[in-house]
Amino acid sequence: MIKAKVADLLNSTQYLQEVAVKGWVRAFRSNRFIALNDGSTINNIQCVINFEKMDEALLKRITVGAAIKVTGTLQESAGSGQKVEVQATSVEILGDADPEEVKFTILSPKKHSMEKLREQAHLRVRTNTFGAVMRLRSKLSFAVHSYFQQNNFHYVNTPIITGSDAEGAGEMFKVTSFDLKNVPKNEDGSVDYKEDFFGKETNLTVSGQLEAETYALGLGQVYTFGPTFRAENSNTSRHLAEFWMIEPEMAFCDLDGNMDLAEEFIKYILKYVLENCADDLAFLEQRLAQEDKSKPEAERSPMSLTEKLKFVIENNFRRVSYSEAIDILKDSKPNKKKKFKYVIEEWGADLQSEHERYLVEKHFKCPVILFDYPANIKAFYMRLNEDGKTVRAMDILFPGIGEIVGGSQREERLDVLRDKMKALDIDEKELWWYLDTRKFGTCVHSGFGLGFERLVQFATGMSNIRDVIPFPRTPQNAEF
């Protein structure tokens, strides 16, 4: 007997073999046809039973949502819609699902809103949409590691609990072992962190970049891929409080090399899912096309999901300086007619999502890499250009998403780095170890951060970032 996954059976031509398959009932028609799915594919396998020879009590337990084991013979299917089916000789109930309770869940076979699906996030992976999204997320994750390992990068696990704020934004979750009803205080009334677990103020990390830099300056090329956290009160379709970041760091690499690597990396992983997720992509493409029909003409995507992925893979990213982008935006119709929520008036403005998407979707109509940003809107660790007012920063902008990658050439000069930290009131004692790397064999080095969920959003066509991570963490929501 062959014990197999549904995906393997659907691709098999080994007919008339005895097989055993386990999964969850998606549908049961005419007391005869079971649609069975085990999560290995979006497609169900049809299992045909002879209800006249089956115990009536057992038959009643074959309900939507129930976990069962079907044993039988794999045969060519006589019906349309599937190549093979299992002629069942026995059915074993592994886990019951009460039809009366199923009616009140998203397992019931009817259309549910995305909000309803989020409310039952523990069950939503058993729907077609979320099964497809999460299988695709898994393949994307594998492709990330595959690319870096093939290109001689070393995987580094940077700390989740940290005493430093890599971004300087201050929007961090605090970590403490204090009893919050009895927090020790200093004489001046401030919190006495010396009494805390780590003996100092600590937080959940917003980025593994600074630690990854130290490892790049010893191993040459490294990458992190792990959870990061922002205590940002943003209830938007683009923000999460907990999300995953991919952060490579490369020694002896300037901004041009950084941009080259980021473009090659993105193209590699999108090509990987195109080649390895055909069934799930086809379903998600159809879903996106249906969703587009309900939108106004102007908001509909001009390309299908696979066309969009191929467009990114097959076209060079357009490289544009921040200064050139500002000129384009200042002269644009939406800016002149004040259609932008944030009107661009002068050089130095911090670009918003609406500006980024205009550049990508309306002006250049391809992915864009912006570089050489004003120093005063970027982080302290970015290398200052000779003009003294811009830094060697770069952002990659995608259609429908806006910024998907942020990176820079890092400031390798100790004196310049110290001056920048002083100007931003960053305590040198807090980052003494980071400054040390500029004392002992400093060199040109670069890196970037890519928000994994935004990449999954782009690859799946999902409009809300909360629907591309298993259990979204957002303001007022940590239910699961």
Query: Minimum mean pLDDT among 131-145, 225-239, 265-279: which range?
Result: 225-239
Phi first, then psi: give them for residue 297, nearest 5 degrees.
-50, -40
* pLDDT at residue 165 tops 80: no
By the 10 Å C-beta count (0-12 exposed, 13-18 middle, 19+ buried), 53 is classed as: exposed
Quick: pLDDT tens for 318-364: 999 999 999 999 999 999 999 999 999 999 999 998 999 999 989 99
Q: What is residue 166's predicted lDDT score, i.e. its pLDDT?
A: 67
Residue-wise pLDDT tens digits, 307-320: 999 989 998 999 99
- How many angstroms separate the CA atoms of 299 and 286, rounded? 17
Beta bridge partners of 162: 203
Give the per-residue pLDDT at 127. 96
Sign of CA dihedral 84, 85, 89, 95: positive
pLDDT digits (tens, 9 = 90+) for 81-128: 789 999 999 999 999 999 999 999 999 988 899 999 999 999 999 999
Task: Report all structural domains of the chain as residue ranges with CATH numbers, in order of start.
Answer: 2-102 (2.40.50.140), 128-171+206-467 (3.30.930.10)
Q: How far apart are alpha carbons 409 and 378 in whole angstroms?
A: 12
283 or 81, higher pLDDT: 283
pTM: 0.93
Whole-angstrom distance, CA of residue 84 vs CA of residue 50: 17
